[in-house]
Chains A and B, each alone.
Chain A
Amino acid sequence: MTALFLRDLKLSVRAGGGALIGILFFLTIVAVVPFGVGPDLNLLSRIGPAIVWISALLAALLGLDRLFQAERDDGSLDLMLMHETPLVITVFVKCLAHWTASGLPLALAAPLLGVFMNMTETAIGVTMLTLLVGSPAITFIGAVGAAVAVALPRGGLLVSILVLPLTIPILIFGVSATYAAVHKPTPFLPPFLMLIALTLFFAVIGPAATALALRNTSD
């Protein structure tokens, strides 16, 4: 399984800019927002954490169809299905590799974008923390959509549509944890713990449902 993890990481770096395009997209959205809402610094710092989170969510969703499409196209998915390791574990490792290559960079790029949105240091730090904790959840539950759409010719957009409602709780708790840390009175821990709980929960049902869907799309 380490071999699979390392191979997927290598591919993300080499193959047609998969991970980097995610970061670029992330940057683009955050860059576009001030053009839409105006350069009022107070407004930007107020909506900053939310915009960073939404952009990260969209960038993560758009990268999801890369998860299984290439494997299916060249036949590697068949060999993974045949393997004696339970497919759930293989899928889990692939999701982890995908997150390390796409989700983790998004979380690490957040401070730069936080500066564009005129966020305070606390806000930037907490946004990065919540993104680090919450973006794996997006990958895990997004994998289900990726597996479902793998058999479709232009599945990319459909994946995003299917997965978006499922990721709304992640967004809600991520942003409210961030805002709670910035505006002192509201408690930070409850939404943050909910976020961690979501990640753990999706880490289980995501790969399980994905494995089930993958077995059923092979024919």
Chain B
Amino acid sequence: MYLAAENLAARRAGDLIFVNASFRLTRGEALILTGHNGSGKSTLLRVVAGFLLPEKGSVKFSDSQGRTDRRPSEVCHYLGHRNAMKNELTVAENLRFWRSFLDDGSQAPTASIEDAAEAVGLGSITHLPFGYLSAGQQRRFAFAKLLVAHRPIWILDEPTAALDTNADRLFTALIGEHQKNGGIVLAATHQSLGLRNVKELHMKCFAGVETEVWGA
């Protein structure tokens, strides 16, 4: 199983953000994106997740049987800046929904709601409305969403934003376990996550020298 990107280039709002981004990840490997704000980390993650069509290049996913017909976005979990949880529902209702919506039909083991909540250190409050929680707790439950449904690839955009160091270590442990189970991780982060088996892709600021469609 591998996830490969070749010479990706992407535009956002007409501006070319980055060019020639390439990587190849197999089971158990993690890719950390580093760089200044605005260097295109989030954009690259969104291209891999399939929200943005790349200007050039392509992203390919091949599963363990060697089939390459699946879109990468179908086999990814995406944790972006926003939590994708509803304030009006309880935590348990939120997780139950995502558990059944994201169910991919494979027999891979997934955590139950309570186990996932325990795993992020907040086992006792799943009956509370999501909107009542603090930002850190909300972020942790957003991460718990990744545990209740199985996807081989995790795409994480600043996962530890709004978290304290305890929770940092918790996330690192969970990500490490995903890698141990043969999963692939892509993460954009300012802080070091302390993971093993890590490749780094440093995003340089791109000055937009290549002419765009409207350039003179």
Contacts and interface: CB of A to CB of B under 8 A. Distances in A.
Given A78-B51, A82-B78, A84-B74, A11 B101 contact: no
A79 B74 contact: no
Contact of A15 (B12, B78, B88, B93): B88
A76 interface: yes
Contact of A83 (B80, B84, B101): B101
Contacts of A75: 80-84
A29 interface: no
Given A10-B93, A75-B81, A219-B12, A83 B102 contact: yes
Given A7-B97, A75-B84, A218 B51 contact: yes
B154 to A, nearest CB: 13
Given A82-B49, A84-B74, A7 B89 contact: yes
Contacts of A82: 49-51, 73-74, 76, 78
Contacts, number: 69
B127 interface: no
* Residue from the set A74, A76, A79, A219 with the largest chain B CB neighbour count within 10 Å: A79
Interface residues of A, number: 20
Contacts of B86: 7, 11, 15, 70, 74, 76
Main secondary structure of the interface of B (DSSP, over half): loop
B84 A219 contact: no
Given A7-B89, A79-B102, A82-B76, A218 B52 contact: yes
B59 interface: no
Contacts of B100: 3
Given A79-B84, A81-B51, A219 B74 contact: no
A82 B73 CA distance: 5
A219 B83 CA distance: 17
A74 B82 contact: yes
B46 interface: yes
Contacts of A83: 74, 101-102
Interface in A66-106: 70, 73-76, 78-79, 81-84
B50 A81 contact: yes
B85 interface: yes
Interface in A86-138: none
B89 A3 contact: no
Contact of A11 (B84, B88, B98): B88
Interface string B21-60: 0000000000000000000000000100111100000000
A22 B46 CA distance: 36
A78 to B, nearest CB: 6
A79 B78 contact: yes
A4 B96 CA distance: 11
Interface of A: 3-4, 7, 10-11, 14-15, 70, 73-76, 78-79, 81-84, 218-219
5 contacts: A7-B97, A10-B93, A78-B80, A81-B73, A82-B74
Interface of B: 12-13, 46, 49-52, 70-71, 73-74, 76, 78, 80-89, 93, 96-98, 100-102, 104
Given A76-B84, A78-B49, 19 more contacts: A3-B96, A4-B97, A11-B89, A14-B88, A15-B86, A74-B84, A74-B87, A75-B82, A78-B80, A78-B84, A79-B101, A81-B51, A82-B49, A82-B73, A84-B74, A218-B51, A218-B52, A219-B12, A219-B46
